[in-house]
Structure 1
Amino acid sequence: MKLANVHHIAIICSDYERSKDFYVRILGLNIVNEVFRKERQSYKLDLALNDTYVIELFSFENPPKRPTTPEATGLRHLAFSVEDMPEAISHLEDYGVEVEEVRIDPHTGKQFTFFKDPDGLPIELYEM
């Protein structure tokens, strides 16, 4: 098998409008398609970053909360690369998003930090 690339990451949110606002208005992802699936009482929002399809945001009634600590088996976090770390952090803080202290990757020497989406999903910013 020869994988070509990552097609998308699926995220289930607890409050669809709040998460849609976070990923679109605050993070700046573009809406590709939005559907309400009546039979499931569920939204599916397809999001792109720089014209590349990256995230499917789902809403379901009463999804269980995400375990946070200790870290659970499964997807650990979502990471985005940024060119200007201070600018990215300032942008998030302007919207009231709490950002952890910037750290340096001991293997690459690059800066990175974490923040959380409205449901506590860890998101990393990593210096290009």
Structure 2
Amino acid sequence: VGSVELDEDARYMVCWLENSGLHGWLVGARGVENEARYPALEYRSMAEALQDLAGDGAPLDCVYAGGRIELLGHAGLALPVLGKSLGCPALPFEAAPYCNGASAIVAAHRHSPRFAAAFGLALREVMQ
């Protein structure tokens, strides 16, 4: 997996997948610009939800997906397909490489919602 370093004015999408569906956020220079959920009555497919989330504005710099990433494949949107459809790299999100002692973290926990939430909360504190 390659890495992408984003500038502070980057525009990117973050997707979290779980058994209940997709949670997606569009992030820009000013923070979260938009969000979407799937399943939702307004979308016929996950692809439609993500295209709507991306919008018609500036192109995306990157898409990060976390949680049960394999669910993208079940929707016909494996990471390479998702990246191609949105015109940017689509990468799996794993917080563990950014943490000291990452090798000591049990593999099952590296992709867990709790770990991602803890990482996000810690990052928010650092950014404020």
**TM-score computed with the length of structure 2 as normaliser:** 0.26
User: Which entry has the higher C-alpha Rg, 1 or 2?
Assistant: 1
More helix per residue: 1 or 2? 2
